[in-house]
Amino acid sequence: MTDAIKIDVWSDIACPWCYIGKRNLEKGLAEASGDDDAPAVEVVFHSFELSPDTPVDFEGGEADYLATHKGISRDQAQQMLDRVTGVAAEAGLEYRFDLLKHTNTVKAHELLHFAKEQGRQHEVAERLMSAYFTEGRHLGDEAELVTLAADTGLDADAAREALRSGRFLDAVRADQAQAQAYGINGVPFFVIDGKYGVSGAQPAEAFAQIVRQVWAEHRDEAPVSA
């Protein structure tokens, strides 16, 4: 049997290009899944904090944050947001930067590791990104995170305990250390089978093409049955 392709994805739930990249990856994998010899793929999400110094309760909107963080005017920041909103729409996502609550994401990353332990990482990653970019939910707030975890079927009390104990913080830091070792300084970043790096929110067709290529490599490397 040919081994599955492993795709490790470094992302931040507060990164607009990461949600677009996630959706495009899903579309690309769905396209390749229709092949006669469809690739088997395992996707694992890893933590990357774009702005670890961001306060939990940031004062101001997303344009204010971008203007300060990037040293640009508020008008330039708004133009950047308008552009990414358009790209998101092409991916089928309705971004609402007018509602978005900029916050520190470390607790959201801890929740993602708890969800991974429970076998629901993909569901929680989707719920968190949707909540952040389309619903204006406060993902730095523990109670909000617990509610969103429960939305995906996770036990609310267990999620709350995981966040309060901080027992997944080491896993977050390990992901960040691995990103540094790989030389990753921007997200989304996709590592395929530990040997190919793909940077940025690539189109769905690009993801379909690369998994087909890597799947062909897997077939060529697979041992021949006696």
Return the SS3 of 84: helix
Distance CA 113, CA 120 (A): 9
Q: Return the CA Rg of the chain.
A: 18
Instruction: Please report which residue ranges of 5-119 form alpha helices under DSSP H.
Output: 16-32, 62-70, 74-90, 106-117
> Is the Cβ–Cβ distance between 14 and 51 less than 8 Å?
yes
| Amino acid 226: pLDDT | 44
Mean pLDDT by 10 residues, the chain (226 residues): 91 97 98 96 97 93 92 96 98 97 97 98 98 98 98 98 98 98 96 96 97 94 63
| CA atoms within a 13 Å half-sphere pointing along the CA-CB vector of 72 | 14
In the DSSP assignment, the letter for residue 178 is: H
Q: What is the pTM of this model?
A: 0.95
220 Cβ contact partners less than 8 Å away, ≥ 6 residues apart = none
| Amino acid 220: pLDDT | 87
| Amino acid 224: pLDDT | 57
Distance CA 88, CA 84 (A): 6
102 φ/ψ angles, rounded to the nearest 5 degrees: -65, 135
224 Cβ contact partners less than 8 Å away, ≥ 6 residues apart = none
- Cis peptide preceding 203, ω within 30 of 0: no
| Amino acid 164: pLDDT | 98
Domains of the chain and any CATH numbers: 5-221 (3.40.30.10)
Q: What DSSP string runs through 125-169?
A: HHHHHHHHHHS---TT-HHHHHHHHHHTT--HHHHHHHHHHTTTH
Residues listed for the chain: 226
